[in-house]
Structure 1
């Protein structure tokens, strides 16, 4: 895509230029599932002037049926032509903000939750919250099994990487959608892949994460394969993470950088990291929101579970990449625990709010832990004051349910609905009788 449109007139010009016949209006539900409905290009003016009404009662986390009228208001800066649709009488997408019929922002809209967090950062003097998420995924032969396409490992190529052509096509499609790709490669697990988008402002990156996920799935489907962002689809193999690089900017400069600090971190940078460490357990249900997420967050598979930070040590929850002279603007933190099946709007919002809480309240950053935390005995971790992430969704959601920070971030309506939905998911899971239990207990009990 060329320069992104800035207003409705720009979008109309692009619609004419690209012979666009249909526009898909995109938004997400509370869990980050992409929702869409299509309008004729002739309805575009009305969509920009008045929004497009729809029934929100069937959208997970939205209002009940008695107050279900919603309005989708297109954001012109998110217009893009879908490269996997026909070029004649083509199809474009545009993200929407969700409003009430009174044209006020809807409190249950995940995009609005992130906007509120960004407003707080701005009020505290920060211009930009940059995010660089690294989403991993698996390619399987179909959506009914976990039959892998290769036995490749990290950075493997040619015969060990059956997905190199589909990755190439995915990168080209993402670039057509206005998403800058920095890296793409085979990941550690068999048939596991990663395509890294260049960092950007948080709201755009959340939109880009949603675009990335559907693009990966659409291109895989062209090859007859199934792409999944399920955090832990294969027993005994690494799961899929979404390592999330973060930085704050103030007056165009990186607010995390301090040339006189031993770690080259400013007081704001240290407090921001301390905020995410302090609140990690209570926001875990947001960045790891599924029962399956906690099958990934176990020691031994590169997924961090211990609440500590480091510069080199990838077993810690937070890594601060080593400073390189001349690259002051790239000073950042990397949170390694989120997974790619999260709702990126809510995840970026709680991460930002936790970091800002640290800055506002002056949290102290503990010393870095450069030891391999997986090799420490439980007593040693306890002595060092190193906490562990929740071990199950059930544990995580009960900690979240007590969190004043998450309540403020999500707002009362979304907070209550999220806790309710996740408690139900955990209840549905814990009453199941699994094949593991039958194999283990039926013959002997």
Structure 2
């Protein structure tokens, strides 16, 4: 990033700052997602946006190896107090926050002080994998279906003379029940209005299984934009909840024994304007390119689980017969398969896609989208084909499980030549260190204690 690029960025930022000031926006949240999946932030006044765009905002490299409780571990490449990489706002994604008056948001890329790429930048990793696919003439479209649990907020200290009321699920009605939408129509309406104002295209919004759980699906975009969108969705849902006196949690599990919060990743492959997930001679009418790509993803799923189900508590969600994708298989329109292929209506060229159901909402979306692309491209290189699809409940047919614990998933991740090569040693080693740290942090805690410890972190 040389002097001309810095000056150009600063000039563009000055124009944006003038626009935002006219809108009474005084603070801009610059976010990145750490290896543990938590969205971190440094905020700057609007008047400092041009400086941030030119020189970046300093942040410690320790954030690469922070755990979910804000303690830190070390890896071979990160975790030390020295160093000052910089956060550079992506002005193309600068967004006025509809549920946080006076605030705007921009995702940040991380660079070294001289402007060179920071090797552990997860957003850059997703962009780099997207570029490798583009070099093959492939355009990836991805979108997340994000689930969260909505609860009442306990009274703040001093608000009542007695002990605060216990936290309760907001909207205890049935799954997919209109009663829950009626009870929370003001809140859900504000979520939709805020996302629309922020140019996030919503496809669906509905109550999910378990009291207080909801899901929102957003339109497909390129992998980096899809990851940006899910960060914006989560923080918007959270902000709207706060304005309604509620609390939104994206932790993998709220109450043990009930379905948890997933983050299903939908994807399709395109070349020259044609959806490669349809009109082919392969299984489910997919093209050979689509089949090889998905076969690569399926092969790497046990290792990908260390990215997409990143916490010990994540495996409390991965229970068979709960649509959580607990089995290592694929199926056509099978919601129990970890990899679900959806041919869609025959006359809708955009509908055909694949859905990965085993990931949860604690995952870093940039690591996830980039790693899925890397796994798919490796499948193309190896000319893989898919095994026979599973038609019924995999639990009834002896289909193997995906790893049932984070240590088991981490063993697969540690052996993955594909993911190590794609991520590079700094990112790969950071993931290993953080996941080992989370395993040690969990210790001998009981299942509900694990879930409770994460409720207000995600």
* Superposition TM-score, scaled by structure 2 size: 0.85
Aligned to 2:107: 95
Maintained 8 Å contact 1:52/1:71: yes
Residue of structure 2 aligned with 1:54, choices 47, 50, 59: 59
Maintained 8 Å contact 2:280/2:288: no
Maintained 8 Å contact 2:223/2:369: yes
Aligned to 1:109: 121
Q: CA deviation at 1:58?
A: 5.0
Maintained 8 Å contact 2:144/2:264: yes
Give aligned pairs, total.
419
Provide, for residues 377-400 of structure 1, a one-character-per-residue CA deviation record: whole Å limited to 9, x for no partner.
xxxx2xxxx432101111111221
Provide, for residues 390-440 of structure 1, a one-character-per-residue CA deviation record: whole Å limited to 9, x for no partner.
01111111221121122123221121121112112112323346789xxxx
Which structure would you say has the larger RCO, counting Cα contacts within 8 Å and 6 or more residues apart? Answer: 2
Counterpart CA distance in 2 for 1:410 and 1:423 is 18
Q: CA deviation at 1:21?
A: 2.2
Counterpart CA distance in 1 for 2:13 and 2:210 is 44
Unaligned runs of at least 5 residues, structure 2: 1-10, 67-76, 155-164, 450-458
Q: Does residue 140 of structure 2 align to residue 129 of structure 1?
A: yes
Aligned to 1:177: 198
Q: CA deviation at 1:312?
A: 2.7
Three-state SS of the structure 1 residue aligned to 2:141 is strand
Residue of structure 1 aligned with 2:96, choices 81, 84, 95: 81
Unaligned runs of at least 5 residues, structure 1: 1-5, 437-445
Q: CA deviation at 1:10?
A: 5.8
**CA 1:312–1:23 in structure 2 vs 1: closer, same or farther (change >3 Å)?**
closer
Aligned to 2:392: 371
Maintained 8 Å contact 2:312/2:405: yes
Counterpart CA distance in 1 for 2:26 and 2:56 is 18
Provide, for residues 72-104 of structure 1, a one-character-per-residue CA deviation record: whole Å limited to 9, x for no partner.
111111101112233xxx221111100011211
Q: CA deviation at 1:354?
A: 0.9
**CA 1:46–1:121 in structure 2 vs 1: closer, same or farther (change >3 Å)?**
same
**CA 1:145–1:211 in structure 2 vs 1: closer, same or farther (change >3 Å)?**
farther
Provide, for residues 106-126 of structure 1, a one-character-per-residue CA deviation record: whole Å limited to 9, x for no partner.
111110111121121112221
Counterpart CA distance in 1 for 2:346 and 2:426 is 47
After the TM superposition, which residues 148-227 of structure 1 pair with which residues of structure 2 at under 5 Å, given as runs? 148-158=169-179, 162-227=183-248
* Superposition TM-score, scaled by structure 1 size: 0.88
Counterpart CA distance in 1 for 2:64 and 2:329 is 37
Counterpart CA distance in 2 for 1:123 and 1:197 is 26
Alpha-carbon RMSD: 2.3
Maintained 8 Å contact 1:282/1:400: yes
Q: CA deviation at 1:183?
A: 1.3
Q: Does residue 283 of structure 2 align to residue 235 of structure 1?
A: no
Counterpart CA distance in 2 for 1:150 and 1:275 is 40
Q: Tell which deviates more after alignment, 322-331 or 232-241.
A: 322-331
Maintained 8 Å contact 1:134/1:194: yes
Provide, for residues 122-155 of structure 1, a one-character-per-residue CA deviation record: whole Å limited to 9, x for no partner.
12221x2111210111111237965212332222
Aligned to 1:410: 423
Provide, for residues 346-395 of structure 1, a one-character-per-residue CA deviation record: whole Å limited to 9, x for no partner.
1111111111111121001112111221222xxxx2xxxx4321011111
Q: Tell which deviates more after alignment, 58-67 or 47-56.
A: 58-67
Q: CA deviation at 1:259?
A: 4.5
Q: CA deviation at 1:12?
A: 4.0
Q: CA deviation at 1:163?
A: 2.8
After the TM superposition, which residues 203-352 of structure 1 pair with which residues of structure 2 at under 5 Å, given as runs? 203-261=224-282, 263-352=284-373
